[in-house]
Amino acid sequence: MKIGDFIPQIKTDNKINKARGVKGAESSSAASQVGDRVDISASSLDVQKMKGIIQNTPDLRMDRVQALKEQIERGDYEVDPYRVADKMLMNLLSESEIIK
């Protein structure tokens, strides 16, 4: 059984044409002259630009990777254990806030 069998079809063409002030045969010619229009806000354009920049940015920064490799080879690379611990705790706390 179709739901459409119980609900009569609603014709909106006449309502739209009346709202536009168009009658009868003039409605089809007037409707064809009116084109669709899309306006994109400035913020939407900014979002599109940012998406393009992100898509063109490489996932790995090879210059940074190379610099870190060189520091490790020279023995200059040092890890701050307090900074690592802080980041671990912040990550743990942020995950626990999501679960609540």
- Write down the pLDDT at residue 60: 84
Higher model confidence: residue 75 or residue 59?
A: 75
Q: What single string gives the DSSP state of each residue in 38-96? A: ----HHHHHHHHHHHHHHHS-SS-HHHHHHHHHHHHHT-----HHHHHHHHHHHHHHHH
pLDDT (mean) for 70-88: 95
What does the pLDDT read at residue 1?
46
In a domain, residue 49? The reply is: yes
Cα 87 to Cα 100: distance, rounded to the nearest angstrom: 20
In a domain, 93, yes or no: yes
- For residue 23, the Cα-to-chain-centroid distance in whole angstroms is 41
Considering the domain boundaries, does residue 1 fall inside one? no
Summarize pLDDT for 11-68 with one digit per residue, the tens. 555 555 555 555 554 545 555 567 787 777 778 888 889 999 888 888 888 899 999 9
Q: Is residue 48 part of a domain?
A: yes
The answer to whether residue 20 sits within a structural domain is: no
Residue 5: predicted pLDDT: 52
> What is the span of the domain harbouring residue 88?
43-99
